[in-house]
Structure 1
């Protein structure tokens, strides 16, 4: 595995770098970097529902959309980001939506420092019930990108203010504030360490425990191609914000597979301008699912018939067709539905 210690703190460049090595190389990589203050959106999320735009603009925070699913995170120079880019080989434990193989080396490195870290929930690393790392994935052409945050000495007031709290995500939980659920790694260290020392320690530890490790330095060609991708995609309004949903209907619900917001217009009793947002994971582009729903009659049978043409798990992992139908129809009786509804599988 090639280890890249990225000096750039430009979030657009750094996330273009991930996509570049994911799609333009067959080699496997571990990448470590920091971002200047920014908000990172999940691939399927609605920027206007997830962030406090006034605060972001007032403080000059960048907003960058990732190519991975999952939720919105705040980054500053007190946060370390890591990424694994690997081949999805047959028989390998490193498969899409499996988080343990990628988080375990990080957890081991933290435990060596006396930090009692563990993988909890879908995709979080926690210490004493506090989240110190969120993780997300993308898959393309039999290659997997797994990346995560490591809150080391992040500014918690900025983190809390930049992100909107979504009540649907915390059903049954007493603590609902962002700052109340997260913590910095530095607070759990037995001996003081700054983020630069932590960065050096982390990459040295991981390389020492990887018999196939080798450092990799970006070439001039790499930097040129990554820079072009950053400007063409990750630095643009079109990618990061797109058109905000201007919908007559908006339904939100949290499922075991994640939170989904659905927005749509209802024209002549049919679905139009369908948009799906949320922190769910999926290996296929959600646009195909949205287009499949276009023109469906606003009734359970018609929506279910459209969804039956797709493997929903490819777009919204761990969310069933029946759950999507009920979300779209807001679980209310519709003509042709009623008591005849049946679960249609994944």
Structure 2
């Protein structure tokens, strides 16, 4: 019997955008059904990918012709938030059943708790991030932005920032009788790639928003001048989650059923325009 502080640790490595999103949902389904334990997963992307939030309108926020011209992937997440360029990063997901303390907590409180694990992970990499709370209006005003389609131009309720700049972006959903939070941990950053494929009302707006983005987001490489590998980052954040949330992480593998569920979700949902272009 798995205890609340015992999590299955999965490192699923590099996969396509559709499979990555499908596997997060497949694991959520099995965890929510009580057929898999609480899970911390790390993964990466087989090519640069724009992931858009559940509520975003693709044709308003993303230039699909530029996405295709660059050879990027485009996928819609089941979580909310704004567009993210997944490339030089470590991506994580935390998945727990509905009766787990993290799921019983409010959205804001669960973000706060999970941010402690992320914070400790950055410390393992030599980056002293801090958790920013935007619960007060004065703090929200400090981080107010132009409101672009890009995720990393402003922190959410509890986000990780270094020197006032966002270094991690997370999104959460409660579905399938469970909680899923996943996010991007920036090892390096190529803003030109992101801003080339987002749409703006004018080039002046693109330029203004890009300038603001540069003032709001930062990566591990920019802070440390070090090239951190995926493997180094995964090891650091495993230690960080274990310390920050007082977890026992047990290395494991996805089940055959989770893999089959993910393949089904890929075909029926995440590679299907009826999902990707639904808004």
Alignment TM-score, normalising by the size of structure 1:
0.62
Instruction: Provide the secondary structure at the position in 2 that maps to 1:82.
Output: strand
| CA distance, structure 2, for counterparts of residue 10 and residue 134 of structure 1 | 20
Shift of 1:202: 2.2
Aligned residues: 238
CA 1:71–1:114: 2 relative to 1, 3 Å: same
Structure 1 residue 165 displacement after superposition: 5.6
Distance 1:110 1:165, change over 3 A: farther
Contact 1:55–1:162 (Cα < 8 Å) also in 2: yes
**C-alpha contact (below 8 Å) 1:32/1:81 kept by paired residues:** yes
Contact map agreement 1:153 1:186 (CA 8 A) in 2: yes
Conserved? CA contact 1:74–1:162, under 8 Å: no
1:134 to 169, 179, 189: 169
Secondary structure class of the residue paired with 2:232: helix
User: Which one of 38, 46, 53 corresponds to residue 28 of structure 1?
Assistant: 38
1:218 aligns with 2:254: yes
Flag the structure with more relative contact order, 1 or 2, with Cα contacts below 8 A and sequence separation at least 6: 2
In the TM superposition, residue 229 of structure 1 has moved relative to its aligned partner by 1.0
Counterpart secondary structure, 1:13: helix
Say which structure is richer in helix.
2
Counterpart mapping for 1:243-262 below 5 A: none
- Alpha-carbon distance in 1 for matches of 2:201, 2:120: 32
- In structure 2, the residue matched to 1:163 is 198
What RMSD, in angstroms, separates the aligned Cα atoms of the two structures? 2.7
Rounded to whole Å, the distance in 2 between the matches of 1:166 and 1:202 is 39
Poorly superposed stretches of 4+, deviation over 6 Å = none
Indicate the residue corresponding to 2:189 in structure 1.
154
Stretches of structure 2 that go unaligned for 5 or more consecutive residues are 1-6, 135-155
Per the TM alignment, residue 34 of structure 1 is displaced from its structure 2 partner at its CA by 1.1
Counterpart check, 1:229 vs 2:229: no
User: Does the alignment pair 1:15 with 2:21?
Assistant: yes
Partner deviation per Cα, 1:93-145 (whole Å, 9 max, x = no partner) = 74334311111111112123331212334243221122211111100244111
Q: Hey, what does 2:11 align to over in structure 1?
A: 5
**TM-score of the aligned structures, taking structure 2 as reference length:** 0.75
Q: Which has the larger radius of gyration?
A: 1
Q: Is residue 2:95 matched to residue 1:85? A: yes
Contact in 1 for aligned 2:124/2:237 (Cα 8 Å)? no
Query: Residues 241 and 141 (structure 1 numbering): CA distance in 2 closer, same or farther, change over 3 Å?
Result: closer
In the alignment, is residue 183 of structure 1 matched against residue 183 of structure 2?
Answer: no
Q: Contact conserved, 1:40 with 1:72, CA < 8 A, in 2? A: yes
Relative to structure 1, the CA distance from residue 107 to residue 240 in structure 2 (aligned partners, 3 Å threshold; closer, same or farther) is same
Give the distance between the partners of 2:54 and 2:184, measured in 1 at CA: 16
Q: Which moved more, 1:87-96 or 1:128-137?
A: 87-96
Task: Name the CA shift for 1:57/1:101 in 2 (closer, same or farther; >3 Å).
Answer: same
Match of 1:65 among 76, 79, 85: 76
Report what 1:55 is aligned to. 66
Q: In 2 relative to 1, CA 138–33 (structure 1 residues): closer, same or farther, beyond 3 Å?
A: same
SS at match of 2:167: strand
Return closer, same or farther for 1:174/1:240 CA change in 2, 3 Å cut-off. Answer: closer
Give 1:161 shift: 1.7
Distance 1:221 1:156, change over 3 A: same
